[in-house]
Amino acid sequence: MRRLVKAEFRRLFTTALWRWGPLAAVVCGGVLVGLATLVGPENFEPSMPGVRTEEGVRTVLSLTGLTVIVPALFGATAVTSEYRHKTITFTFLFAPRRQTVLAAKLLTYAVAGAAYGLVVTASAAAGLYGGAALRGVSVGAGPGTVAELLLRLAAAMTVYTMLGVGIGALLRNQTAALAALGLYLYMVEHALALIPGVNLIYPYLPGGATAALTNFNLISQAAAEISVSSARLLPPVLGALVLAAYAVTATALAIGVPMRRDVT
């Protein structure tokens, strides 16, 4: 296992993911939060509390939840690229026990997802305080509250990386996996959240659980704008448990599905 994990990290550092990953994290964290702070949530449509209030700080930081697709794409690419470039055959020849190979991939990208999440949150904190300083306003939440929310966001990024690995193992085709993730996260989930009656399942979907964990309430506000009663989100602890359940499911998919398939 140690050798396989080491090999996976070596493979990761030979791809473009490790170069683009930190850049994407800074854009998704620092740039997004910094611009939102500079503009001011009170100038959004609909208007929201400004960063002088704790609610406004939570709103601005939770915007990074919109970018969970990025670590999911990284996780999916980690698996599908091996099928796309036909290197998976040599990988399984080198280590015939597929479950060990796949567990090593999952462990490697869970660590990479956590690292990505930490870069996102660090850059988001810099964007928040930097934007507030440029506007000449104070941040309405204490450092402890900001740190707690940022750690929740980092945990969500880690889970979505693992979900991406699971989707990649299930679909194997890189284009199909990336398209499925984009379609689901930005269209299907949002549509389900806005359909009366059907939206009762939204809190238990990955997006709903993430919204509960990260205090992301823009979907609920969008539903209110079109006079649709939105489902009540779960408490943050339950949201974290639902996300953990999805992580376990992704682990089972990533390890179990390739065990029953031919490589080609």
Pick from 61, 66, 68: which is nearest to 37 by CA? 61
Backbone torsion region of residue 49, taken as left when φ is above 0, otherwise alpha when ψ lies between -120 and 50, otherwise beta: beta
What single-letter DSSP state applies at residue 203?
A: G
**Would you state the pLDDT for residue 137?**
92
Q: Please say if the pLDDT value at position 242 is more than 90.
A: yes
Q: What percent of the chain has pLDDT over 70?
A: 92
Contact 165, 112 (CB under 8 A): no
pTM of the complete model: 0.86
pLDDT bracket for residue 130 (50, 70, 90): very high
Q: Please say if the pLDDT value at position 264 is more than 60.
A: no
Mean pLDDT for the chain overall:
84
Calpha distance 233→69 (Å, rounded): 20
Least confident stretch, 36-50, 60-74, 129-143, 169-183: 36-50
Calpha distance 216→214 (Å, rounded): 5
What single-letter DSSP state applies at residue 140?
A: S
- Per-residue pLDDT of 3-55, as tens digits, reads 888 888 888 888 777 778 888 888 888 999 999 999 888 888 777 888 999 88
pLDDT bracket for residue 221 (50, 70, 90): low
SS (H, E, C) 25-59: HHHHHHHHHHHHHHHCHHHCCCCCCCCCCHHHHHH
What count of other Cβ atoms lies within 10 Å of the Cβ of residue 185? Answer: 21
